[in-house]
A and B are shown apart, each in its own frame.
Chain A
Amino acid sequence: MIELKNIRKIYEANKFDRVTALDNINLTVQEGELIVLKGASGSGKSTILSLIAALSKPTSGEVIVDAKQISKLSDNFSSVYRRDNIGFIFQKYNLIPTLSVKDNILLPLVSLNPHAKEVEEKIQSVMKRFHIEHKENAIVRNLSGGEQQRVAIARAYVNNPKIIIADEPTANLDEKLSHHFIDILRELKALNKTIIIATHDPLFFGLDFVDRELEIHKGKIVL
């Protein structure tokens, strides 16, 4: 279970340049729930995702995941928390462009220093699941947008995380690929993952397997 309590996030470049990105956010996401965060550009969707993934810390308020105070974790434990719990599909994918598909998918496993055989099995299985195994050794830079996204999904999934987060997953995809991503979502939902999507793509609105849609406006949940 994910709980956001009285979250406020203020970006302060300097004294005269303060942005209140989130303003008193309260939100609870149950295990296995799929929620969609909607809202205009700059409304604060990405900021919420980043707080849940412990990629940043709230200015005030608490982020609690499975009864743990995520917002109070040290930098090292934040990394470990992400590694063990979060699969993040970034808007710009955030792959390492000069590495191969396989090496990118390997990244979340590295710090566990597992056996080579186990690594190979995990990577092969996740590449198959997301249909990228034919590009195993291709350099990511040379892949198409859809292929890159599948690598990003595979990387997010390789550690078998409980929580999957996707930021604008269809922003760079054509309609066919967007539909394909929705199929993947359905599959992940069926695996009982907790899923949080930030998007303003209407394709996600009114889907039968989405549990809740929340509208964010100027840093507040309005719906």
Chain B
Amino acid sequence: MKNKINIYLVEYAINAILRQKYKSLFIVTIFTLLTFLLTSVFFITNSIRYELDSTVDALPQIIVQKIKAGRHYDIDVNLVDDILGISGVNDAVARVWGYYYFENARVNFSIVGIDKYEQQYKNSFTNLVKDFDFDDINGTATMLVGSGVKRTMQSNYYKEFFNFIKPDGTLKKVRIAGIFDGDTELESNDMIIMSKDLFREIFNFEESKATDIVVKVANPEEIATVVSKIKLMFPDTRIITNHDLKVSYQNIFDYKSGVFLVLFIVALFTFFIIIYDKSSGLTSEEKREIGILKAVGWTVDDVLKEKLYESFIISFFSYIFGVGLALAYVYIFQAPLISNIFSGYSQLKTSFELPFVFDFQTLFLIFFLSVPIYIAAILIPSWKVATLEADEVIR
């Protein structure tokens, strides 16, 4: 009997919200905005982290680069055979890849050359060479492009063909044969794939050289051993493992989200001061109302329950509303403004789609950061007034 929800208190709470139209509207607006911003940032960081993780996971275990005068230099293709001879090595492939700066749009495209007779170092490539023929058809070179590249080219009126400017200034016309879908959006978005021969032609790249060599090790435990063996055999190389890359990617990302977190803690704080100021500093009428309720027989419990319902309804509604807005903003509208700050770790990358990563933990976190704090900000001052002698309050 005592624990039954008192419907009259609930009605009173709803009535109280409606009676204070402007105040309620103000609080709902601020509260919704707050949850919206917080949720958006969490959604975006989660999505990007997810992309990043899958990108890093798809990276080769070991990359071998040639270093000359402290700089990354083209590596001899012959090294592949020597590396294959190291025990524990499953496979080694010479890669040719690079960046092409597209002046009109001021973006960099990543260009990868692949050879269909080679073992591919990426799953997505293996499928590609099965389905697609990179050989020149009727004397025209072809390539596949990522969706971001496609958009960029299209908006610069390259619909079917694209003209690369070669090092000697002459043009190379290449047909855009289709869209390439990689393992992750982040990776494939700014990527162009073509045959190694075409790549060498566009960049005037020597036949006997490659950009780097990727090495596959059967047992991940042996990566360190293989790395030291390669280092011993070829002292003029730099060896990067996917673990190293993961750390550096993570550092950049964590730095950015750290900056954001600080900004948002400041914002959160400000919002709560505003809300606290507007809602908890009880006006004399509100105090009087509590006094009257006590005078006509409400207990402190009744008053607090009513305030609890009132603040819960307001804050929960705002929370749901804010989360809904954030969902729409991030996943339907692709988070204009905020996402750029995060995605630009290569400043010139073309924009990409945020994958939908729904994370209940985040939603819980934001819920517990906002709703109970707001409720407490309402209940504590009400409790203070409700425990005073009624006579003092209504006099």
Q: List A residues at the B interface (Cβ < 8 Å).
A: 50, 53, 55-57, 75-76, 79-80, 82-84, 88, 90, 94-96, 98-99, 103, 106-111, 113, 119, 155, 159
Is there contact, CB below 8 Å, between B19 and A110?
Answer: no
Is there contact, CB below 8 Å, between A96 and B289?
Answer: yes
Contact with A along B1-37 (1 / 0, CB 8 A): 0001011110010010001000000000000000000
Within 8 A of A (CB), among B275-321: 288-289, 291-302
Please name all residues of chain B whose beta carbon is closer than 8 Å to the beta carbon of A107 when the two chains form the complex: 292-293, 296-298
Complex A-B: 14 CB contacts under 8 Å: A53-B295, A79-B300, A80-B297, A83-B296, A90-B394, A94-B295, A103-B12, A106-B8, A107-B292, A110-B302, A111-B298, A111-B302, A113-B4, A159-B297
Q: How far is the CB of B228 from chain A (nearest CB, A)?
A: 76
B392 within 8 A of A: yes
Please name all residues of chain B whose beta carbon is closer than 8 Å to the beta carbon of A110 when the two chains form the complex: 6, 8-9, 12, 298, 302
Please name all residues of chain A whose beta carbon is closer than 8 Å to the beta carbon of B293 when the two chains form the complex: 107
Which of B289, B295, B296, B390 gathers most chain A CB within 10 Å?
A: B296
Closest chain B residue to A159, Cβ basis: B297
B387 within 8 A of A: yes
Question: Contact size class for B?
Answer: 20 to 34
Please name all residues of chain A whose beta carbon is closer than 8 Å to the beta carbon of B296 when the two chains form the complex: 82-83, 88, 107-108, 155
Q: How far is the CB of A80 from chain B (nearest CB, A)?
A: 7
Is there contact, CB below 8 Å, between A111 and B391?
Answer: no
Determine the distance from Cα of A37 to Cα of B295 in the docked complex, in whole angstroms: 21
Which of A88, A98, A106 gathers most chain B CB within 10 Å?
A: A98
Determine the distance from Cα of A136 to Cα of B300 in the docked complex, in whole angstroms: 28
- Apart from A83-B298, A90-B295, A111-B6, what are 6 other A-B pairs with CB-CB below 8 Å? A50-B391, A57-B389, A75-B299, A75-B387, A99-B19, A108-B296
Determine the distance from Cα of A95 to Cα of B394 in the docked complex, in whole angstroms: 11
Determine the distance from Cα of A50 to Cα of B390 in the docked complex, in whole angstroms: 9
Closest chain A residue to B19, Cβ basis: A98
Known: A107-B296, A113-B4. A94 touches B301 (CB 8 A): no
Is there contact, CB below 8 Å, between B6 and A113?
Answer: yes
Determine the distance from Cα of A108 to Cα of B295 in the docked complex, in whole angstroms: 9
Determine the distance from Cα of A67 to Cα of B15 in the docked complex, in whole angstroms: 39
Q: How far is the CB of B213 from chain A (nearest CB, A)?
A: 78
Is there contact, CB below 8 Å, between B297 and A99?
Answer: no
8 smallest A-B Cβ distances: which pairs? A83-B297, A56-B391, A55-B391, A79-B299, A110-B8, A108-B296, A113-B6, A55-B390
Determine the distance from Cα of A94 to Cα of B296 in the docked complex, in whole angstroms: 10
Determine the distance from Cα of A79 to Cα of B386 in the docked complex, in whole angstroms: 11
Please name all residues of chain A whose beta carbon is closer than 8 Å to the beta carbon of B391 when the two chains form the complex: 50, 55-56
Known: A98-B19, A110-B9, A113-B6. A75 touches B300 (CB 8 A): yes
Q: How far is the CB of B390 from chain A (nearest CB, A)?
A: 5
Please name all residues of chain B whose beta carbon is closer than 8 Å to the beta carbon of A103 when the two chains form the complex: 12, 15
Please name all residues of chain A whose beta carbon is closer than 8 Å to the beta carbon of B12 when the two chains form the complex: 103, 110
Is there contact, CB below 8 Å, between A109 and B8?
Answer: yes
Please name all residues of chain A whose beta carbon is closer than 8 Å to the beta carbon of B9 when the two chains form the complex: 110
Please name all residues of chain A whose beta carbon is closer than 8 Å to the beta carbon of B19 when the two chains form the complex: 98-99
Please name all residues of chain B whose beta carbon is closer than 8 Å to the beta carbon of A111 when the two chains form the complex: 6, 297-299, 302
Q: Residue B389 contacts which of A56, A98, A99, A106 (CB distance < 8 angstroms)?
A: A56
Is there contact, CB below 8 Å, between B299 and A76?
Answer: yes
Please name all residues of chain A whose beta carbon is closer than 8 Å to the beta carbon of B15 when the two chains form the complex: 99, 103
Q: How far is the CB of A156 from chain B (nearest CB, A)?
A: 8
